[in-house]
């Protein structure tokens, strides 16, 4: 399989399936396209009908685009791995919070974008972003309290991969978190697949200026 992704420093959507596949030891070829360049869209369209990344290209040549769709496809294709919790009630909750991440938190996304190499501590804290952060903190804290940690549903899975880019944002922008949420963010940061992504991002040299200087 091949996984089409954008810059590791900036592409939050790309991070999710990459980390998931790395964590579960699923082999794939990485195709990386630098974002916001003259040839970016054409390079993406060569693999992704939506013109967006990430995109998983299967052994049969069929493409699956959108990070959550890729995660669901991987869970179906590799049922030996507990990417979703085995318990039906926990699985429903994990799907719900993953979908909430997928479709929500627009204020936080707009005001605290992903830039792993940067440090914007104390910035971006609009009322809307802070409300989103409070909800995310409640999700993380509630899951860990109910399911015992160390990750949202015990072992690292799709839900954690969906929130990994949020952890990257929080590392950069440094909003205030509860002790439980802050400890969870540290564990995600040090998870081996996440750490591998961070290390790769630190070695990248491509710069997207609009993501470098917060207003």
Q: Which residues touch 155 (CB under 8 Å, ≥6 apart)?
A: 82
* pLDDT over 70 at 211, yes or no: yes
Q: What is the pLDDT of residues 126-163, one digit of tens each?
A: 999 999 999 999 999 999 999 999 999 999 999 999 99
For residue 120, give the 3-state DSSP assignment: coil
For residue 54, cis peptide bond before it (omega within 30 degrees of 0): yes
The pair of structure tokens assigned to 182 is 């802050």
DSSP state of 1: -
State how far the Cα of 160 lies from the Cα of 42, in Å rounded to an integer: 31
Q: Which residues touch 98 (CB under 8 Å, ≥6 apart)?
A: 68, 71, 158, 159, 162
Q: What is the pLDDT of residues 168-195, one digit of tens each?
A: 999 999 999 999 999 999 999 999 999 9
Q: Which residue has the tokens 């989103």?
A: 132
Domains and CATH numbers, the chain: 2-81 (3.40.30.10), 88-198 (1.20.1050.10)
DSSP state of 37: S
């Amino acid at each position: 399989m091949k996984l089409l992704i954008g810059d590791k420093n900036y592409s939050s959507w790309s991070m999710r399936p990459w980390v998931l596949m790395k964590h579960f030891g699923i082999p794939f070829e990485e195709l990386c396209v630098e974002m916001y360049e003259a040839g970016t869209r054409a390079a993406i369209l060569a693999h992704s009908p939506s013109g967006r990344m990430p995109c998983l290209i299967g052994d049969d040549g069929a493409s699956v685009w959108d990070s959550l769709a890729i995660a669901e496809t991987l869970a179906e294709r590799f049922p030996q791995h507990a990417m979703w919790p085995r318990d039906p009630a926990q699985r429903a909750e994990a799907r719900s919070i993953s979908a909430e991440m997928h479709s929500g938190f627009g204020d936080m996304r707009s005001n605290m974008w992903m830039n792993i190499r940067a440090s914007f501590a104390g910035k971006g804290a609009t009322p809307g972003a802070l409300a989103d952060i409070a909800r995310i903190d409640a999700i993380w804290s509630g899951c860990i309290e109910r399911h015992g940690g160390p990750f949202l549903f015990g072992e690292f899975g799709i839900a954690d991969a969906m929130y990994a880019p949020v952890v990257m944002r929080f590392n950069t922008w440094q909003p205030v978190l509860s002790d439980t949420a802050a400890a969870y963010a540290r564990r995600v940061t040090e998870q081996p697949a996440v750490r591998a992504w961070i290390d790769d991002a630190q070695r990248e040299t491509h710069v997207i200026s609009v993501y470098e200087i917060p207003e």
